Amino acid sequence: MPDCIAITGMGCVSAAGNNVDGHRRGLRLRERLCSISTTVGPATPYPVFEVPDPALAATPDEMRVAKLALKAAREALVDAHLDEFPPGCRVGVFLGSTTSCQLNDIEFQRAYRSSGQVWPAPPERYFTGHLAERLAWQLNLPAGPRWVIANACASATDAIGMAWEAVRQELCDIAIAGGADELSPVSLCGFHSLGVVSPVPCRPFDRDRAGLNLGEGAGIVVLESARSAARRGRETKIFVAGYGAAGDGHHMTAPHPDGRGLELAVRRALKAACIEPADIAFVNAHGTATRDNDRIEGRVLGRVFGTGVRAVSTKGYTGHALGGVGGMETIFTAMGLAEGWIPANIGFENKDPDIPFSPPTEPTPIDGRYAMSTSLAFGGGNAAIIIEHDSRKGIPA
């Protein structure tokens, strides 16, 4: 069918793995690879999920987040067999991010405060660091849209959803979509000031959860129509089937108590995919492990999908990678559907009486055609994306 939009490539880097394969292994083995950060203070150590590869450290001319994005994008393009693009092809880049959108450099600002000197390198790095423009330049991509979506924690999910719309409506032929963020001391101090960071590895949906852990990384997918993939000889069985987004219209830092925005986003995605809640085999939940998020999201998922819903948060493996995590979670959702399993919701031990379900504590086989990934953003934005696995649906190459 001409308007089936396929995921033809995936690339992912986080504390949980150096590539998609690494994540597959790490999630199966329930590996929890966090380190301790004393950025906020020696008396306030926090677990953080850091990408270990020293080659991805920031350099004077490039932010770390840009290196993470490039790594994942390269993997996705190789996976998609796109070492070159068909002639006349328009390629869009749609990336979610938070850390690349502000000039957050503590030492740079400290120097200015004390001496009035403006170091030249950090602003240069910032102004040449628009993630989508930079990635397109580094990969020498054909012309097309170059968006960075700054929607806080839902950025990457929104980026993939809008990329889906863009390909469907032929704003471009191929989209590179997802998100990236780096572990930023400013972000950690910010979430600490809100009192939502956990002093222990996070426990999504658990009765005793004490907040989030910050993480970093990038999750990027290649989207194109099934027809375009077939023309290139690329098999397709994973599709983006629907996307929905909605705002709470409530408060800057507190989600709406009834989760009305999330419920709307979920129902809009279902409608876009022309399916019912019963068709969803599992949900990769936002599940940050804050008291508020998990209670509200948990109730919405229970209300929409029933108390038997298979909902799992993977933030126990990756941490909350802010603008990048939606891309990772789309990939985990696609992987789970294609391979027939979902990972354990690591960190969960005891059911919360306020949350109507218990997530899986072991890798669990699933069988189904559709799955959903949800994201709830700081500021009340909500996004849901539906992935479809159907080996009959792809056009034979």
Partner 1 sequence: MQQPVEDMATTKARLKELIVSHLSLVNVTPDQIKDDAPLFGEGLGLDSLDAVELVVMLQRHYGISVEDSEVGRRIFASVNALAEYVQANRTK
Partner 2 sequence: MKLDIVSMGVMGPFGRGHAQLAAAIAAPVPPPAAWSLPRTGMIVPVRRVEDTLLQDPILNPARRAGRFIKMAMLAAADCLRDAAIAEPAKERVGLVLVTGMGAHDINFGFVDGLLEFGMNQGSPTHFSHSVHNAATSYIAAMSGSRGPALTITHFASPLHQGLDAAGLLLAGGACDHVMLGAVDELGAFMLAIYAARGMIAGDGILRAKALDAPIGIVPGEGAAFFLLTRPGENERRRCRIARAVAPVHPATRLVLDHDGLWSRGAELPAAARGLPVACHNDVWGSFPAGGGMALAASLILLEQTPQEYMLLHTHRPGVDPIEVIA
**Which residues have a catalytic role annotated?**
153, 286, 320
Reduce the DSSP state of residue 351 to 3 states and report it: strand
35 binding partner 1? (CB under 8 A): no
Q: Dig out the tokens for 288 from the structure.
A: 């940050």
Among 49, 147, 282, 317, binds partner 2 (CB under 8 A): 147
Among 249, 353, 365, 396, binds partner 2 (CB under 8 A): 249
Among 143, 306, 349, 397, binds partner 2 (CB under 8 A): 143
192 binding partner 2? (CB under 8 A): yes
254 binding partner 1? (CB under 8 A): yes
150 binding partner 2? (CB under 8 A): yes
> 252 or 274: whose CB is closer to partner 1?
252
Distance from C-alpha of 185 to C-alpha of 180, rounded to nearest angstrom: 16
196: left (phi over 0), alpha (psi -120 to 50) or beta: alpha
Among 81, 112, 139, 369, binds partner 2 (CB under 8 A): 112
Q: How far is the CB of 24 from partner 2 (least distance, A)?
A: 31
195 binding partner 2? (CB under 8 A): yes
Any idea of the CA torsion for 195, 198, 204, 206, to the nearest 10 degrees? -90
The pair phi, psi for residue 372, each rounded to 5°, is -125, 145
Among 251, 276, 349, 350, binds partner 1 (CB under 8 A): 251
143 binding partner 1? (CB under 8 A): no
> 49 or 378: whose CB is closer to partner 1?
378
Among 18, 99, 151, 225, binds partner 2 (CB under 8 A): 151
387 binding partner 2? (CB under 8 A): no
190 binding partner 2? (CB under 8 A): yes
Please report the beta strands in the chain, taking only residues with DSSP state E, as ranges in sequence order. 5-14, 35-37, 46-49, 91-96, 146-149, 174-181, 214-215, 217-225, 238-247, 280-284, 311-312, 341-342, 364-365, 370-376, 381-389
Site string for partner 1, 153-192 (x = CB under 8 A): ----------------------------------------
Distance from C-alpha of 365 to C-alpha of 375, rounded to nearest angstrom: 23
Per partner kind, with CB cut-offs from 5 to 8 A, the member of partner 2, partner 1, none near residue 353 is none
Distance from C-alpha of 361 to C-alpha of 363, rounded to nearest angstrom: 7
> 198 or 345: whose CB is closer to partner 2?
198
Contact 156, 325 (CB under 8 A): yes
The one-letter amino acid code at 275 reads: I
Distance from C-alpha of 374 to C-alpha of 3, rounded to nearest angstrom: 23
> 146 or 203: whose CB is closer to partner 1?
203
Q: Which of residues 316-375 bind partner 2 (CB under 8 A)?
A: none
Contact 317, 27 (CB under 8 A): yes
Among 59, 253, 307, 391, binds partner 1 (CB under 8 A): 253
Radius of gyration of the chain measured on its C-alpha atoms: 20
- Write out the residues near partner 1 by the rule CB under 8 A: 193-195, 251-254
